[in-house]
Structure 1
Amino acid sequence: MVRWLIAAGLVLVLGLVNASIWRNESLLASGTLVSLELAPVDPRSLMQGDYMALDWAVARELRQRLGRDLPASGAIVVRREAGSSRAALVRLDDGTPLAERESRLAYAVRGARVRIVTDAYFFQEGRAGDFERARYGALRVDKSGRALLVGLQDADLGWLGPRGKQP
């Protein structure tokens, strides 16, 4: 009996892990590419070990616009420039249908910071120089606002990294 319970628990855990992997792989394959500007970060703390600390310009702008009136979690709407993945903040998501080139992006307030996706980009040891020119974070975003960081880009939206192409 105990063996069956352990086996059932293991199957359940593996099923949940695989479902999560499938969701992320689907998002990477079919999500809309959105490039968000990175806010300036103190250069002395930019590189910390094998990752880069990230701060998003849209998060700072959202905090400046709304201050303490910002809900603890929700979504924003960003609009991509015509013919580009470069996007800028439009508004808080109020449930109205999205226009062409608009994407919903989930956020959460943690302490004094607005968190969008992640605040760190990890890379292979010794590769910090490949990412020093980062000006944009490239995200894959689905219709619900869930996003994954897929890479960093320079000021011209060129991909950064050892191979210089889209990950």
Structure 2
Amino acid sequence: MNQLTIGSYEEFQKYEGADLGVSPYHTITQEQITKFAEATLDYQWIHLDAERARTDSPFGKTIAHGYLTVSLLPYLWDQIVIIQNLKMQVNYEIENLRFNQAVVVNSQVRLRAKLLSLKNLRGIAKAQIEVTLEIKDSPKPAYSGIITFLYHFNK
């Protein structure tokens, strides 16, 4: 895996407008889907009932919650870029997120990221990142959108 390592605003700024990379694949298991359902109290059958999904779902299998796939953003992002020398990182915003394709159980997904912009807000780096969650062997991504992280670098 070829992660970028960034230790300051100035280093981060060099990547503005650039493709930052792609994470390794992560397999979405039924156990992960079930735990997410328990954590969020979202017990729809399409996520949990494999037998019913086999007969009643257009996908033929259970599918991951859309928000489960979104919740993987920080984890997958950290597989692409290591941001060092931080006081704190804050998940700030998601824009134009569009779910394009369901993620069926046991699919492998990975994140592709591009740094759209980096702004200095009184010492806080505001990074807007174009993200696409790709599904292995699928022409359509699970979703695409723009996420914003705020980075409070140590001086």
What band does the TM-score fall into relative to the shorter chain?
0.3 to 0.5
TM normalised by structure 2 equals 0.34
TM normalised by structure 1 equals 0.32
Structure number with larger C-alpha Rg: 1
Higher relative contact order (CA 8 A, sep 6+): 2
| Richer in strand (by share) | 2
